[in-house]
Every structure is written in structure tokens, then in C-alpha cells.
């Protein structure tokens, strides 16, 4: 009889030996999520709030991350964009079930440059470009037929030429002030390590109780 324990080793997270830069740790976990086969590992819950504090959340896709922050794209007339213009602070949550890991990010939000939005828009599939033109995001529409009609009209308009980025569509960058890494552990004694940005742009690192 084989008595060798073949169960996977429990993942751990120790605040004493993590990287001083949370973006380095984020990228390491993100790469692990890709390797794990997670579907859409770049998906993240974006939470915003209006000026009166009413919250709203939805799933969007991360398109870029570096030391400056986390970038996503949307229609600037959408509900989330209107809230971000009123109250330019937001929170993100990543959750990768296969790895039993979660990352929470909080910080201020600003638009990326027009050049950055142009560059990303050019990289999108043509149908996605046309969809950005055709959809009055978050507005009430009469029917799907109307959306498809608008799509066809723009398809004809731009047939044989490059689709231009509409001025009402572009990116936002969330500059993190706080990033928390959560690793599931047995007995509900989960590992939680939080980074908080300091005045000199360095990061404090602490363990939180689960």
C-alpha cells in the first residue's frame, strides 16, 4: 500500500519575504493564473461610487499593468465612467479560483492619454472597434435590432479603411494606494498581506488577520 501523500502542497504567503514592490508580486501571481488555465485571468471586478456614495460594481478586463497602475478601457459616457468622473477613486478585485488567490486594489483613477487610447484601439479586432462606435453604452435602447443596424451602418461607413477611435471611448488608469494579497489556507487562517503606498512612493508591508 502506498502511504505517500499525493495531495498538492498548500500555498503560503509570508510578509517577511515578499518583494518590496507589489506590482512585482502581482505580475508573478498573474502569470501563475495564466499558467493554471484560469479562463480570462485578466478579468477583474471594478467598483465605483457616485458622489453621494452609492456603489456600483461590474467585471472589466485588465489591459495593462506597470508601476504606474492598472489600465482598462470603456466608453467615457458609460455609467462607470460617469461615476469615475464624479468621484475618481475605485477598487479592483481579482479572484483566481484554481489558485485560491485574491487581490484587492484601491486607489485614484485618471484617464490615460489620447495616444495610449489610440494605440490600444488600433490593436482591437475590427468588430470590437465597430461595436465601440455602435453602442451607446449604459443607455436604454429600443432593441437589439437597432444595435445591429447601427453596427452595419458603421461597417459600411468604414469599409476598406481604418476605423477611427471615437472621442468618447478610451482608457483609465487606477493608480494604487493599497494592494492586498489573499491566499487561502486551511482552517480559515488565510494569509493576507497588505501593501500601502507612503508619501515617498515606497510601500509599507503588513500582515492582516484573516
- What are the catalytic residues? 188
Distances (CA, A) of 7 to 3, 36, 98, 188, 189: 12, 17, 15, 18, 19
Sorted by sequence, the CB contacts under 8 Å of residue 26 that are 6+ apart come out as 65, 103, 179
CB 49 within 8 A of CB 106: no
CA–CA dist 12, 67 (Å, integer): 25
Q: Which of 91, 103, 97 is nearest to 182 (CA)?
A: 103
CB 191 within 8 A of CB 100: no
- 3 state SS of 132: helix
Grid look-up 479572484 returns 95
CA–CA dist 7, 172 (Å, integer): 42
Sorted by sequence, the CB contacts under 8 Å of residue 35 that are 6+ apart come out as none
Amino acid at each position: 500500500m502506498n502511504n505517500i501523500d499525493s495531495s498538492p502542497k498548500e500555498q503560503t504567503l509570508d510578509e517577511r519575504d515578499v518583494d518590496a514592490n507589489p506590482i512585482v508580486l502581482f505580475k508573478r501571481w498573474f502569470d501563475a493564473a495564466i499558467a493554471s488555465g484560469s479562463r480570462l485571468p485578466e478579468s477583474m471586478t471594478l467598483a465605483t461610487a457616485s458622489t453621494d456614495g452609492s456603489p456600483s460594481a461590474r467585471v472589466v478586463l485588465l489591459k495593462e499593468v506597470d508601476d504606474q497602475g492598472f489600465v482598462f478601457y470603456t466608453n467615457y459616457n458609460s455609467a462607470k465612467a460617469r461615476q469615475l468622473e464624479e468621484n475618481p477613486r475605485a477598487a479592483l478585485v481579482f479572484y483566481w479560483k484554481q489558485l485560491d488567490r485574491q487581490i484587492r486594489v484601491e486607489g485614484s483613477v485618471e484617464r490615460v492619454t489620447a495616444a495610449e487610447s489610440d494605440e490600444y484601439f488600433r490593436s482591437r479586432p475590427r468588430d470590437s472597434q465597430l461595436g465601440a462606435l455602435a453602442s451607446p453604452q449604459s443607455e436604454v435602447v429600443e432593441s437589439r435590432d437597432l444595435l445591429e443596424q447601427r453596427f452595419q451602418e458603421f461597417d459600411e461607413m468604414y469599409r476598406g479603411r481604418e476605423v477611427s477611435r471615437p472621442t468618447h471611448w478610451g482608457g483609465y488608469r487606477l493608480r494604487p494606494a493599497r494592494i492586498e494579497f489573499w491566499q487561502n489556507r486551511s482552517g480559515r487562517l488565510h494569509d493576507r498581506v497588505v501593501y500601502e503606498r507612503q508619501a515617498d512612493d515606497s510601500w509599507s508591508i503588513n500582515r492582516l488577520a484573516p
